[in-house]
Amino acid sequence: MSFTLKMKISGLCVLVPGDRRMHVLLPNTHGQGHHCHEHESRIYFDKRYLTGADQELTPPEKRESDELRNGSLLVGAEPASADVGITDRVLRIKGCRVHGECLTEHGGGRLDGRVTLLNGKIDGFAKGTCWTVPDVPGPAELTFQVLWSIPMSGDSLVWNVSPLHGGPAPVLRELKPVGTGTDRIIEVEIIHGMADEMPEKQGAKLPGKGDPPEHIAACLPIVFADFKMPDVRYDAEDGCCQLGYPKRGAKEGATTTTFSCMITAGDHP
């Protein structure tokens, strides 16, 4: 049997294309200083994937989740065959390579978590917030979330996870696909965000027009060598604002901003 794993990747994440595999780095922000706010990493999923029962989806803020901190997650099967192309909605930090130790077994203490995708490809992205970016005409709508689709074999998803920093690896629950035939699917979301950005909290706010993404610039040197943040500024154009999860207590269809982060990408060391 087979199924498709659809994985949303959200928040402060760095995509690093490798040899037919995509690395997703979640920087270790704990104790890094004032502007680099502490982030947490979790995997969210609907509770129906715990049983494989094809039941109604629960609201996003009531999903199940498992902590990913200290986890190095390998998704897919060898031989690696991932399409490592990256959408232009992801900000590429040009001229900077990630620290080589980020891709070693234990991540050099620089990572809160890491996901390595052996197969599949980027299959979409969320509507983003507008930023002015050097050498890019007009405001650039940069995403805070990409969707990765990956074909999987078997009747369930048993995570291949090992510890990054010593000690125990995170405990990630087995998930089961829903649907029939070629429509069998498991949907998860990996979020690396500040506590108030998580779906169950919903307190994050966007920067003001003309503001730089200070918290991103402060956190990215954790994973980038010789880091220099391009002069990116929040633009706040009408119709170019990221969408959040439904806000509890709001009228139907209303949303609240979830992330003030953007997905970034760097070069392999």
Q: Report which of residues 35 and 75 the model is more confident about.
A: 75
Cα separations in angstroms, 50 against 63, 194, 263 = 11, 26, 29
Cα separations in angstroms, 127 against 50, 57, 140, 176, 210 = 29, 22, 11, 29, 20
**Pair 128, 144: CB distance under 8 Å:** yes
- How much is the pLDDT for 245? 46
State the chain's mean pLDDT as an integer: 86
Q: Report which of residues 172 and 217 the model is more confident about.
A: 172
The pLDDT-based confidence of 239 (bands split at 50, 70, 90) is low
- How much is the pLDDT for 240? 62
User: What is the biggest distance separating any 2 CA atoms in the chain, rounded to whole angstroms?
Assistant: 51
The pLDDT-based confidence of 249 (bands split at 50, 70, 90) is very low
pTM over 0.85: yes
Contacts of 183 (CB under 8 A, 6+ apart): none
What CA–CA distance (Å, rounded) separates 261 from 220?
Answer: 11
Residue 181 has pLDDT above 70, yes or no: yes
**Pair 24, 14: CB distance under 8 Å:** yes
The pLDDT-based confidence of 260 (bands split at 50, 70, 90) is low
**Pair 83, 76: CB distance under 8 Å:** no
Mean pLDDT, rounded, for 205-218 = 81
The pLDDT-based confidence of 251 (bands split at 50, 70, 90) is very low
Residue 97 has pLDDT above 50, yes or no: yes
Interval 49-61: pLDDT, tens: 999 988 888 787 7
Strand 140-142's sheet: what is its strand order? Answer: 140-142, 129-132, 233-234
What CA–CA distance (Å, rounded) separates 187 from 182?
Answer: 15
What CA–CA distance (Å, rounded) separates 152 from 120?
Answer: 9
- How much is the pLDDT for 54? 82
* 3-state DSSP assignment of residue 121: strand
**How wide is the angle at C-alpha 64 spanned by C-alphas 83 and 1, nearest 5°?**
50
* 3-state DSSP assignment of residue 114: strand
